[in-house]
Amino acid sequence: MTRSKNQLLVATVLSAVAFLSLATAVAFRLTQPFDTTALLRIHSGATPYWDSFFITITQFGGSIIVTIASILILGVLLLLKKRRKAVFFSLVMVGMLLLNILFKDLIGRHRPDAAGWLIPETGMSFPSGHATAVMALGLALCILLWNTSWRWAAVGCATAYIAVVSFSRLYLGVHYPSDIVGGWLLSIAWVSAVVLIVRLPYRHVAKVNEP
């Protein structure tokens, strides 16, 4: 096994173990004191301006925009005849959705007190669907663009996208911090695993003749 594959395997195992450990802690309410305190501190700085800003920003991690973006990216990959990359991206996004639904049902954590919500929400809280989606999308794009001139632009945009959308869920009061971290860890584990499963040569993604 090459060094890069070893690193991916380590990333997959570590992030999966970290996610399962956090999920267990959440299920037994061990994170509740920290989560509640952190939300109160975040909400103490709320203003009408930031309310409007984060209500808008959070939409960019919602199902509609993530689905549209995913379809466009998949379409571009298919037009460029990047079949393996298209399979990789499809597995990342579909698997991310199914895993998020599965663990929401398994953990069954309720959202924070609805009195603090700035937007209406439904469903369970852990892991955050928005955090899971934006991390999966951001990581997938970084991998697809890693050996192109867009590498660092992709990393910078993905980092900002993940951070701002994820924080919006805390500011709006619909998730706990551990929900966000759980979503990130779940996506890191899944994306790393898919790279190994598909055998995507991510160190050579710029090659024109890649299947």
- Asked if the structure places residue 98 within a domain, the reply is yes
Question: How far is Cα 190 from Cα 208, in angstroms, rounded to an integer?
Answer: 26
Q: Domain count for the chain, please give it.
A: 1
- Asked if the structure places residue 93 within a domain, the reply is yes
What is the phi/psi pair of residue 206, to 5°?
-85, -10
- Binned at pLDDT 50, 70 and 90, residue 201 comes out as low
- Asked if the structure places residue 99 within a domain, the reply is yes
- Asked if the structure places residue 131 within a domain, the reply is yes
Residue range 66-112, pLDDT digits in tens: 999 999 999 999 999 999 999 999 999 999 999 999 999 999 999 99
- Asked if the structure places residue 167 within a domain, the reply is yes
- Asked if the structure places residue 210 within a domain, the reply is no
**Residues comprising the chain, all counted:** 211
- Binned at pLDDT 50, 70 and 90, residue 210 comes out as very low
Q: Quick check: 105 and 199 in contact, CB under 8 A?
A: no
pLDDT, residue 75, reads 97
CA distances to 18, 154, 155, 165 from 158, rounded to whole Å, are 22, 6, 5, 11
- Binned at pLDDT 50, 70 and 90, residue 58 comes out as very high
Residue range 37-57, pLDDT digits in tens: 999 999 888 999 999 999 999
- Asked if the structure places residue 33 within a domain, the reply is no
- Asked if the structure places residue 77 within a domain, the reply is yes
Tokens 């060094």 -> residue = 3
15: containing domain: 3-27+50-204
Residue range 184-195, pLDDT digits in tens: 999 999 999 999
Q: Quick check: 195 and 88 in contact, CB under 8 A?
A: yes
Q: For 179-195, give one letter per residue: b (16+ CB within 10 A) or e.
A: bbbbbbbbbbbbbbbbb
